[in-house]
Amino acid sequence: MATTDFIDECRIFVRGGDGGNGCRSFRREKFVPRGGPDGGNGGRGGSVIFRAQAQLSTLLDAHYRKHHRAQRGAHGQGARKNGRGGEDTIVDLPLGTLVRDEESGELLCELLTDGQIWVAARGGPGGRGNACFATPTDRAPVHFEPGKPGKERWLQLELKVLADVGLLGFPNAGKSTLVSRVSAARPKVASYPFTTLQPNLGMVERGDARFVIADIPGLIPGAHQGAGLGDRFLRHVERTHILVHLLDPEPVLSGADPARSPAADHAALRHELCAYAAELAERPEIVCLTKADLVPDPEDRKLVAEELRARGLEPRWISSATGEGIDALLGELARAVAAP
């Protein structure tokens, strides 16, 4: 999927169809001089309905088609013929979509299950024809009701991807490479920071276990305040069950950046998570040191992991290039996802 194809925010206008007008009519037949009122009722306007679809992964369609209107109801006719109801307009949205009222900011709906529907704008009721107003004292009413207008409003759509496992790390930590190694997903992989500018989802199958893994774009300090679009990326972590921190050992070995180390990177990532949403601090996590193929010496590995172990963490060494540690990591993730 191209970077420009992923849309996770948009605003759309929805309007239910107007109800059809009631009819004013009187029965006119030969030998029936006073047939009485026979105006039918107008049909109800159609509604705009949101439907969750598991096959969708972006708000791209809603982004490019911002206005959605349902069909109006047909007008009533003579001979007590009621107008036909307007057809509903169905808008398909991906799982994980939040719907908010743009004016008030109120959360109206969350689309979390495949096939779930929610009425975004209800159609207006049809008006009654004059036949409905006949009474013993008024046998020839001339009044009728016009149809009521459908509801309309602007809505704000926000997508939070649904995944079992979220991969976190600084830019160029190896997240996309890992996703491409363990699933059929093929995110863009390159040796420069911020290669990934959108969440990428991959389906992992291990024996009878299946789970979805999400490659979250790289985070930097200040992400929760919007640095590097981090606030937009962090929301995709909220619905994951377990977090995997991918830490790059290269800064320690090269000494290029004294402020960078796996332990410092882990602390910075934890800070951004907690600052964005406090409940993320309690989310189960696994800590991995990536690019194990570049650190074959056991003594170098011990040096890199030393500060993490001093903080009570037990990092796993993995290499997406050689496959080292990948099977063990997937087994651990499968067990964690399956746990109640």
Nearest residue to 22 (alpha-carbon basis) of 36, 8, 39, 1: 39
Nearest residue to 159 (alpha-carbon basis) of 220, 219, 201, 104: 201
Cα of 199 vs its chain's centroid, Å: 12
What is the rounded CA–CA span in Å between residue 213 and residue 237? Answer: 11
Query: Full-prediction pTM beyond 0.85?
Result: no
Question: What is the model's pLDDT at position 194?
Answer: 38
Do residues 192 and 267 touch, judged by C-beta distance below 8 A? no
Do residues 10 and 58 touch, judged by C-beta distance below 8 A? no
Question: What is the model's pLDDT at position 29?
Answer: 80
Other CB atoms within 10 A of residue 47 CB: 25
Nearest residue to 199 (alpha-carbon basis) of 162, 243, 174: 162
227 backbone dihedrals φ, ψ, rounded to 5°: -60, 130
What stretches of 122-266 adopt beta strand conformation (E)?
152-159, 165-168, 200-206, 209-215, 242-247
% of the chain at pLDDT higher than 70: 87
Q: CA 130, 131, 133 angle in degrees (round to 5)?
A: 70
Q: Sheet holding 107-111: strands in order across?
A: 67-69, 9-15, 152-159, 97-101, 107-111
Same CATH topology for 3-159 and 165-338: the answer is: no
Per-residue burial over 99-134, b = 16 or more CB atoms within 10 Å of its CB, e = otherwise? bbeeeeeeeebbbeeeebebebbbbbbbbbbbbbbe
What stretches of the chain adopt beta strand conformation (E)?
9-15, 48-53, 67-69, 89-94, 97-101, 107-111, 117-121, 152-159, 165-168, 200-206, 209-215, 242-247, 285-289, 316-317
The pLDDT averaged over each successive group of 10 residues in the chain (340 residues) is 59 97 90 84 97 86 92 95 96 92 94 95 96 91 95 93 83 82 61 49 81 74 43 71 89 70 88 81 90 89 90 92 92 85
Using the structure block, give the residue that is written with the tokens 């976190």.
168
Nearest residue to 7 (alpha-carbon basis) of 273, 232, 238, 276: 232
Model pLDDT for residues 196-245, shown as the tens digit of each residue: 446 677 888 887 788 888 887 756 555 444 443 445 567 777 778 899 99
Question: What is the model's pLDDT at position 185?
Answer: 57
Which residues have C-beta within 8 Å of that of residue 326, sequence separation ≥ 6? 178, 181, 182, 318, 319, 320
Other CB atoms within 10 A of residue 264 CB: 17
Q: Which residue type occupies 146? A: P
CATH superfamily of 165-338: P-loop containing nucleotide triphosphate hydrolases (3.40.50.300)
Using the structure block, give the residue that is written with the tokens 């930097």.
220
Tokens of 205: 């199958």
Q: What is the CA radius of gyration of the chain?
A: 30
Q: Helix (H, G, I), strand (E, B), or coil: what is residue 132?
A: helix
Question: What is the model's pLDDT at position 281?
Answer: 79
Q: What residue segments make up the domains of the chain, in order of their start?
A: 3-159, 165-338
CATH superfamily of 3-159: GTP1/OBG domain (2.70.210.12)
What stretches of 95-182 adopt beta strand conformation (E)?
97-101, 107-111, 117-121, 152-159, 165-168
